[in-house]
Amino acid sequence: MTYHPDAFPTHWDLNPYRGCSIGCKYCFAQYSHKYLGLDDFFKDILIKTNVSESLGKKLGKKNWNNEQIKIGGITDLYQHLEKRYKLMPKVYEIIKKHKTPVFIQTKSTLILRDFEIIQELSKITSVDIATSITTFDESIRKVIEPGASTTLERIEMLAKFKGISRSTTLGFMPIIPLLSDTDENLETTFSLAKEYGIDNVVTSFLFLRGDVKSKFMALIEQHFPEIYTGFSKLYATSTVDPNYKQNINLKIKKLRDKYQLFSVYKAVETIAHSDQLSLF
CB of 22 to ligand SF4, least distance (A): 4
Nearer to ligand SF4, 20 or 261 (CB): 20
Instruction: Give the residue among 28, 114, 35 at the shortest CA–CA distance from 73.
Output: 28
Opening angle at CA 239, ends 241 and 13, nearest 5: 145
Q: Distances in Å between the alpha carbon of 150 and those of 131, 161, 174? A: 12, 17, 16
Q: Which helix (H) or strand (E) holds 231?
A: helix 228-234
Q: Of the candidates 12, 52, 71, 76, which one interacts with ligand SF4 according to CB under 6 A? A: 76
Q: How many whole angstroms from its chain centre is CA 139?
A: 21
Which of positions 82-111 make contact with ligand SF4 (CB under 6 A)?
A: 107
Minimum CB distance to ligand SF4 smaller for 4 or for 57: 4
Q: How far is the CB of 36 from ligand SF4 (least distance, A)?
A: 15
The answer to whether 131 contacts ligand SF4 (rule: CB under 6 A) is no
For ligand SF4, the closer CB: 24 or 159: 24
* Cβ 15 to ligand SF4 shortest distance, Å: 9
Shortest CB 10 distance to ligand SF4, Å: 17
Residue 167 host element (H or E) = strand 167-175
Regarding 75 and contact with ligand SF4 (CB under 6 A), the answer is yes
Compute the distance between CA of residue 197 and CA of residue 60 in angstroms, rounded to an integer: 36
133 binds ligand SF4 (CB under 6 A): no
> Which residues from 5-64 bind ligand SF4, rule CB under 6 A?
20, 22-24, 27, 29
Give the span between the Cα atoms of 231 and 214, in whole angstroms: 13
Q: In what order do the strands lie in the sheet with 167-175?
A: 2-3, 12-14, 69-71, 102-105, 127-133, 167-175, 200-205
Question: Cβ of residue 206: shortest distance to ligand SF4, in angstroms?
Answer: 11
Task: Give whichever of 59 and 111 is closer to ligand SF4, judged by the CB atom.
Answer: 111
Cis peptide before 174 (omega within 30 of 0): yes
- We find the least distance from the C-beta atom of residue 211 to ligand SF4, in angstroms, to be 15
Q: How many residues bind ligand SF4 (CB under 6 A)?
A: 9
Q: Which is nearer to ligand SF4, 20 or 192 (CB)?
A: 20
* Closest distance to ligand SF4 from the beta carbon of 61 (Å): 28
**Displacement of CA 251 from its chain's centroid (Å):** 23
List, in order, residues 6 or more apart from 153 with CB less than 8 Å away: 109
Whose Cβ is closer to ligand SF4: residue 22's or residue 130's?
22
Q: Is the CB of 22 or the CB of 261 nearer to ligand SF4? A: 22
Residue 22: count of CB within 10 angstroms of its CB = 19
Question: Which chain residues interact with ligand SF4 by CB under 6 A?
Answer: 20, 22-24, 27, 29, 75-76, 107
